[in-house]
């Protein structure tokens, strides 16, 4: 049984701070890793993906992957109230067998 | 990324009836998926919709309850049959491609069963 785990939160950070979201996965065969943002009542929206160990930056977002530790994280710099949402971690092998984590609810306080 | 249109966006249905949800993509896609997201929960894959063949269902989901069609590379339907209150959920269509590509989601169908 492939599993993806995340802290459910809520994770509360003040506006302007760095939010750190973490995800661990059980399947060592996982090849690609995704972060989705889901606002309440909306569908998931892809914000980052990463395939290789290390960091990948896109604007205020940085994804970090450590395959040896089976760990992927998402950092949000200069957090804004508009970043308040649930963040879903998903992992995939080559077969589009996506497994989603339970999501972490982030609250950015003005 | 592809534009994915899902209809209806929401519906309220009577127990024992069936509802068909449509998913239309503005470009040809290899893979289409149907997910369920119950309140406060993460996404659960119902099935993968395969063009020209039977859908592949995940454990706990059966074709009699959730028949799926995929007549071409841009369209799929999911029917929720003989509905009960336990079927109240958000149903999401997503599209993807083979390999390491991400999936992208439609806006979802919010379904309530009375």
Nearest to B40 by CA among B90, B100, B83: B90
- Band (A71; pLDDT cuts 50, 70, 90): very high
**Does position A73 have pLDDT exceeding 90, yes or no?**
yes
Residue B1: the pLDDT is 74
Q: Is the pLDDT of residue A94 over 80?
A: no
Asked which of A28-42, A94-108, B55-69 is least confident by mean pLDDT, the reply is A94-108
Computed over every residue of chain B, the mean pLDDT equals 93
Q: How far is CA B38 from CA A42, A72, B27, B90, in A?
A: 13, 25, 29, 6
- Given an 8 Å threshold on Cβ–Cβ distance, is B100 in contact with A92? yes
Averaged pLDDT for residues B11-30: 96
Inter-chain touch A96–B48, beta carbons under 8 Å: yes
Q: How far is the C-alpha of A26 from the C-alpha of A70, rounded, in Å?
A: 7
Q: Is B39 on the interface with A (CB under 8 A)?
A: no
Interchain pair B100, A94: CB under 8 A: yes
> Which residue would you say has higher pLDDT here, A23 or A1?
A23
- According to the model, what pLDDT value does residue A1 have? 73
């Amino acid at each position: 049984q492939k599993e993806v785990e995340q802290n459910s939160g809520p994770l509360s950070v003040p506006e302007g701070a760095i939010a750190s979201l973490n995800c661990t996965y059980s399947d060592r065969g996982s090849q690609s890793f995704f972060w989705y943002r889901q606002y309440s009542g909306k569908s998931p929206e892809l914000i980052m993906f990463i395939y290789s160990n290390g960091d990948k930056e896109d604007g205020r977002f940085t994804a970090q992957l450590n395959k040896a530790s089976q760990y992927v994280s998402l950092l949000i710099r200069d957090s804004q109230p508009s970043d308040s949402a649930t963040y879903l971690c998903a992992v995939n092998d080559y077969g589009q067998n996506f497994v989603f984590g339970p999501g972490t609810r982030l609250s950015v306080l003005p | 990324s592809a534009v994915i249109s899902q209809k209806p966006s929401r519906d309220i249905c009577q127990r024992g009836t069936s509802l068909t949800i449509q998913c239309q993509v503005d470009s040809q896609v290899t893979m289409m998926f149907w997910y369920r997201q119950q309140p406060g929960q993460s996404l659960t894959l119902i099935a993968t919709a395969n063009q020209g063949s039977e859908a592949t269902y995940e454990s706990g989901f059966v074709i009699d309850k959730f028949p799926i069609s995929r007549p071409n590379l841009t369209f799929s339907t999911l029917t929720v049959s003989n509905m009960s209150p336990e079927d109240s959920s958000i149903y999401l269509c997503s599209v993807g491609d083979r390999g390491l590509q991400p999936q992208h989601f439609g806006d979802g169908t919010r379904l309530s069963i009375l």
